[in-house]
Amino acid sequence: MDFALAKEHEMARQLFKDFAENEVKPLAQEVDETERFPRETVDKMAKYGFLGIPVPKEYGGQGADILTYAMCVEELSKVCGTTGVIVSAHTSLCIDPILTFGTEEQKQKYVVPLAKGEKLGAFGLTEPGAGTDAQGQQTKAVLDGDEWVLNGSKCFITNGKEADVYIVIAVTGKIEKRGKTQKEISAFIVEKGTPGFTFGTKENKMGIRGSSTYELIFTDCRIPKDNLLGAKGKGFGIAMHTLDGGRIGIAAQALGLAEGALETTIAYVKERKQFGRAIGAFQNTQFQLADMATKVEAAKLLVYKAALKKDEYMKNPKTSYSFEAAQAKLYAAEVAMEVTTKAVQLHGGYGYIREYDVERMMRDAKITEIYEGTSEVQRMVISASLLK
């Protein structure tokens, strides 16, 4: 067992760190304050290949691996949670399912421009009545000649209005399973600009405020028959597979937020003086930092382990990374919330002020315990694996 990073991973980390410091950090506060999608950053990330990191070169990607992708999301999130999730949703939730389940034609048509960053991706599963309970789906897709006709809506969609390609999960019929009637669920690829596909409310969020979170509305939206992703009726499995991968991205985002808050706090407690000395000289501060750093390191090991497990899956699809991804996401998200909250506390009154980064980091951290499967869902996944 070797905890040292390979040369390529060390170099990639330095690249992401430099990019985050120079290009992302200067915008983070303004992006949050004004709820502005950082399009110029997305364009720069496209130029440098950040939007197709784990995608094979033959499909327009960088031919790197999942660990490199996770480190990219981590380093971006250290300075801006919004930018981290843009890359995560695009890569894990849109490119990955097409790469895994798409036909060669679909990969050429969609993965190539997505991986090159010419197009941005999103994923629509959640509905007002179907979050954790994916069977609660109401959006329907009906085959009419050579076209599927979509009706319904999706909510809380990351990269919502800014994306060009969307994976949309919809009900295509009913099936009998173990004597019960269940919804048959399928996955589709929908392009922005398709007649009948519009956007609803933009969500006004607590954190990741620069991320474009929208409702997607489908009203007699007709898409080509060929835009069915995977086999008809396999949509639930596709969605669950997609979320397994997405959880590694969100775990990396949470890890980055925790690391960013810790680094910011270490610098602050060396500067801030009370009772004639730096607050870092007080044992309470020291013990808090020790706990924060230890938890961050434990989270990092879980996140990297999950990423390496998915890398193993890419070479051997018989392996599974669902368990590791759930553990990484559960732990990193809870550590992010705890560490950012402590970071605000150690900053005292200043930590509560918008001008200080830890205030934003604490708001950004909360969502990592909720989206792409709440912490409770992660516990369900982990325990189900333990008790099977």
Partner 1 sequence: MKIIVCIKQVPDTKGGVKFNPDGTLDRGAMLAIMNPDDKAGLEAALRLKDQYGAEVTVLTMGLPKATDVLREAMAMGADKGVLVTDRVLGGADTWATSTTIAGAIRNLEYDMIITGRQAIDGDTAQVGPQIAEHLGIPVISYAQDIKVDGSKVIVQRQYDDRYHVLEAQMPCLITALSELNDPRYMTPGGIFDACKAEITTWGRADLKDVEDCNLGLKGSPTKIAKASDKVRKGAGEKVAPESPEEAVEYIVGKLLEKHVI
The residues annotated as belonging to the active site are 372
Main-chain dihedrals φ then ψ at residue 297, nearest 5 degrees: -65, -40
* Residue 356 near partner 1 by CB under 8 A: no
Q: Is 30 in the site for partner 1 (CB under 8 A)?
A: no
Q: Which stretch binds partner 1 (CB under 8 A): 59-67, 76-84, 97-105, 132-140?
A: 59-67
Place of tokens 């007002």: 128
For 99, how many CA atoms within 13 A lie in the half-sphere containing its CB? 28
Q: What is the Cα–Cα distance from 37 to 161, expressed in whole angstroms? A: 10
Give every CB contact of residue 212 below 8 A, 6+ residues apart in sequence.
37, 158, 159, 160, 161, 162, 163, 202
Q: Is 202 in the site for partner 1 (CB under 8 A)?
A: no
267 binds partner 1 (CB under 8 A): no
Instruction: Name 167's bridge partners.
Output: 123, 189
If binding is defined by CB under 8 A, does position 40 make contact with partner 1? no
Which residues have CB under 8 Å from 388's CB, separation 6+? none
Distance in Å, CB of 375 to partner 1, minimum:
30
Enter the tokens of residue 158: 């990351």
118 contacts partner 1 (rule: CB under 8 A): no
Q: Does 255 bind partner 1 (CB under 8 A)?
A: no
Q: Which is nearer to partner 1, 71 or 217 (CB)?
A: 71
Count Cβ neighbours within 10 Å for each residue of 250-261 and write b for 16 or more, e otherwise. bbbbbbbbbbbb
Q: Mind giving me the DSSP string for 315-342?
A: H-TTS--HHHHHHHHHHHHHHHHHHHHH
DSSP state of 165: E
Position among 12, 251, 292, 337 found at the interface with partner 1 (CB under 8 A): 12
Q: Is 72 in the site for partner 1 (CB under 8 A)?
A: yes
Under the criterion CB under 8 A, does residue 270 sit at the interface with partner 1?
Answer: no
Of 54-62, 79-87, 287-295, 366-374: span binding partner 1 (CB under 8 A): 54-62
Size of the residue set binding partner 1 (CB under 8 A)? 19
Distances (CA, A) of 385 to 214, 323, 388: 34, 7, 5
Minimal distance in Å, beta carbon 52 to partner 1?
8
The one among 30, 33, 34, 57 contacting partner 1 by CB under 8 A: 57
Q: Does 256 contact partner 1 by CB under 8 A?
A: no
d(C-alpha 115, C-alpha 59), whole Å: 7
Listed residue (257, 204, 213) closest to 371, CA to CA? 213
Q: Which of the stretches 61-69, 106-114, 130-138, 166-174 binds partner 1 when contact is defined by CB under 8 A?
A: 61-69
Of 50-58, 77-85, 105-113, 209-217, the window that binds partner 1 (rule: CB under 8 A) is: 50-58
- With CB under 8 A as the contact rule, the residue among 15, 240, 293, 314 that binds partner 1 is 15
Does position 6 bind partner 1 by CB under 8 A?
yes
Residue 7 corresponds to which amino acid? K
Which CB, 207 or 245, lies closer to partner 1? 245
Q: How far is the CB of 59 from partner 1 (least distance, A)?
A: 12
Does residue 174 sit in helix, strand or coil?
strand
Binding residue (CB under 8 A) for partner 1 from 38, 49, 84, 102: 49
Could you list the residues that contact partner 1 (CB under 8 A)? 6-8, 11-12, 15, 18-19, 48-50, 53, 57, 61-64, 68, 72
